[in-house]
Amino acid sequence: MAKGIVVILSGASSVGKGSIREKLLADKDMNLFFSISETTRPMKEGEVDGKDYYFVSHKQFADSVKNKELLEYTEFNGYYYGTPKAQIDFLVNKGKNVLIEVEAQGVGPIKLNIPESIAFFVMPTSFEELERQIHEIYKDDEASVQRRLNKAKMEMEIAPLFNNIVYNDDVDKACAQIKEIVMKEMEKRNDE
């Protein structure tokens, strides 16, 4: 049985990664399973532990880092987020394709551990459009708007390091570009 493919989805804050992720996961041709991250942030209303995130204490998260159980981890707004390694290994070894959605700085550590993974960076059509979206989403919290805009600028500066840059001017078009690359990789691996 061929091993599964790890697909990494990253991009600037509020660029629409969530919409792309949901559409990719719904596409049965790609056989994608979503990697659930650990986080120390409190559960929001409507979220489910083990479905949206694994909600853990700071101590549990620190233990995961110390024991090298995370492929990557980051901090945002005082909370930690990380990708559990065992979950990815289990799915890939069962021939399942795994979609990991991470911050741009998390891609490097994943690629070091899984060099054959395919990374996509989702770009806005323009920084002005992204700025408009962020203001629309976080209109009541100017501090959050500024944090996200600064973060987006830094993330977009490292976008050229990605082999695959996808512009999200249309979710269907962005997903079609990602699917084409993933399907070619699946065919290549099945031929080996």
Q: Any idea where the domains of the chain sit in the sequence?
A: 6-191
Tens digits of residue pLDDT in 72-113: 999 988 999 999 999 999 999 999 999 999 988 888 899 999
- Cα separation, 57 vs 39, in Å, equals 8
Confidence of residue 192 (pLDDT cuts 50, 70, 90): low
Q: 81 by DSSP, 3-state: which?
A: strand
Bridge partners for 79 per DSSP: 76
CA angle 24, 26, 30 (to 5 degrees): 60
Instruction: Give the residue carrying structure tokens 């805009």.
Output: 149
Total residue count of the chain as it appears in this document: 192
As a whole number of Å, the end-to-end CA separation of the chain is: 11
Q: What is the pLDDT averaged over residues 179-188?
A: 92
* Annotation: CATH topology of 6-191: Rossmann fold (3.40.50)
Instruction: Give the residue carrying structure tokens 């078009």.
Output: 173
Whole-number pLDDT of residue 81: 95
pTM of the model: 0.87
Whole-number pLDDT of residue 145: 83
Tens digits of residue pLDDT in 44-56: 999 999 999 999 9
- Cα separation, 99 vs 119, in Å, equals 10
Residues 6+ apart with CB under 8 A from 186: 5, 30, 97
Tens digits of residue pLDDT in 118-147: 999 998 888 888 888 888 877 777 888 888
